[in-house]
Amino acid sequence: MTKTKQTIATTMLISMALLTACGQNGASNGNGEANANAEAANTTETTTAAPAEQPSEPVTIEFWYGLGGKLGDLMKTQIDKFNASQDEVIVKGIAQADYSETEKKLQAAIAAKQVPAAVLSANSAWARKGLYAPMDELIQANPDFKAEDFVQTFLNQGQVDGKQYFLPMYGTTQVMYYRKDALEKAGIKPEDLKTWEALAAAAAKMTVKDGDKTTFYGWEPMWGQENMTDAVLSKGGSILSEDGKTVTIDTKEWVDTWELFRKWIHEDKIMRIHSGGQGWEYWYKTIDDVMKNQAAGYTGSSGDQGDLDFSIVAAMEQPGWEGVGEGRPVAQAIMAGIPAAASPEQQQAALKWYEFFTSAENTAFWSMNTGYIAVRQSALEDPAFKAYGEEHPESQVPLKQATHGSAPFEDPTGGKITDALKIAADKVQIENVPAEQALKEAKETAQRELDRIQ
């Protein structure tokens, strides 16, 4: 994904590598790690001629992933392509409802000692408990792997206590998608929406009401704490103090920001949240509102681009705040790993699959067809990737945003702080609880969990 010159794109990826941004643990949902130890093959000698080598059976592994819609279809395409490209490994893709369900199913599989060999999920706390296999030795044993070619800011997110437990499959950040006709009708220029204050004013102008009922929403944030936390980070807020000993989610930056979202949703009714449902149902309802002309825009993943019609919508970066500067939303890698209970043979097979998926050609293919960020620097050399970036400017928005994004939060409590934030976000977005109250309660819960491990 480039502008018009490779040097510009290379500078962009180098900037990304200087970032400090799953998911799921150091990210928002699950991601994983891979390790493999090669089994030594036994050889048999005879006093006569050696027997002809018998063809070995391919190693069959399961790969669990929580992707739906076009993303799920594209993953199936890549699995089929991999299986057809060689005869040593067969990958059986097992789709889950979403990232969270993948982690829940994996937890049950670990307990039953019947794990998949590969999983699109990551959890550093589980890695420290030995539930994921470190990959370092396996990577070192494979001279074709070329770990140095990965975007290092993404690769580093897969490290736990100095070991490589997870590999980045693709990068993501949440950007803004808007209907071009809605902004044009309201006389609003997208380049003027550089702050949340300006976006809120534009949303109010574009909102259409019939009495007390809103029939067209000016904007739709995505359900969950992530969007609102991005906005807090852009204002200079943090989740923990610099020494890591104090939870700081009740500071002015947090309260003021989340209270604005509460007001926009429940009082002004210029924004709406779709929540609940099965898997990604809430996500696609939000997208549908914009595509069906029921909302002017929404905040969503860079990976939504494969589901959008860019003759109708366009993309822009998340805004910052007046007097503060540009936005600093999280930019993170979606990770994959290998459960430690997988056999050495299966671990080798899993790494072979990951190597294929993240190759320059395939990470470029994934990025062009989904909007997710390529994880290999050499992808910039792919001719199709270069041409696509020039023809589709929306594909450059996630890359630009990632150059000034924030690192994903790595929860030292194994997810308890993040869970507290999720509960607080539901109180604000769904229950209309004042932000100060919701965040105070979340801070108390999160601090207790943090104190237990100190």
pLDDT, residue 85, reads 98
CATH 3.40.190.10 domain locations along the chain: 6-39+56-172+332-402, 174-329+412-452
What pLDDT, in 10s, does the model give residues 200-241?
999 999 999 999 899 999 999 999 999 999 999 999 999 999
pLDDT, residue 396, reads 86
- Supply 327's token pair: 């936005």
Hunting for tokens 């030795």 — which residue is that? 137
185-194 contacts, C-beta under 8 A, 24 or more apart: 186/296, 190/314, 190/316, 193/316, 193/319, 194/319, 194/320, 194/326
Decide: residue 90, CB within 10 A, 0-12 exposed, 13-18 middle, 19+ buried: middle
What pLDDT, in 10s, does the model give residues 312-344?
999 999 999 999 999 999 999 999 999 999 999
* HSE (side-chain half, CA atoms, 13 Å) at 130: 1
Closest among 269, 262, 237 to 251, alpha carbons compared: 237
pLDDT, residue 143, reads 86
- At residue 325, φ and ψ (nearest 5 deg) are 130, -170
pLDDT, residue 47, reads 31
Give the CATH number of domain 174-329+412-452; options: 3.40.190.10, 3.40.50.720, 3.50.50.60, 3.30.479.10: 3.40.190.10
Hunting for tokens 């809605």 — which residue is that? 182
Rounded (10°) angle between helices 344-357 and 360-370: 60
What's 193's DSSP letter?
Answer: -
pLDDT, residue 403, reads 78
Per-10-residue mean pLDDT of the chain, 454 residues long, equals 36 36 35 33 34 68 96 97 98 96 96 97 94 96 90 91 97 96 98 97 97 95 97 98 97 98 98 95 97 98 92 97 96 96 98 97 94 90 90 90 88 94 98 98 98 94
pLDDT, residue 380, reads 82
Decide: residue 46, CB within 10 A, 0-12 exposed, 13-18 middle, 19+ buried: exposed
- Supply 40's token pair: 């030594």
306-345 burial, b at 16+ Cβ within 10 Å, e below that, comes to: bbbeeeebbbbbbbbbeeeeebbbbbbbbbbbbbbbbeeb
Q: Which sign does the torsion angle of CA 23, 25, 27, 28 carry?
A: positive
pLDDT, residue 155, reads 93
Q: Give the helix ranges, DSSP H, for 376-415.
A: 383-391, 396-402
pLDDT, residue 345, reads 97
pTM comes to 0.74
> What CATH homologous superfamily does 6-39+56-172+332-402 map to?
Periplasmic binding protein-like II (3.40.190.10)
pLDDT, residue 35, reads 34
* HSE (side-chain half, CA atoms, 13 Å) at 257: 27
Cα separations in angstroms, 186 against 53, 70, 202, 263, 333: 73, 32, 8, 22, 36
Please give the torsion angle defined by the CA atoms of residues 247, 248, 250 and 256, in that order, rounded to the nearest 10 degrees.
-150
Nearest 5°: the CA angle 404, 405, 407 is 135
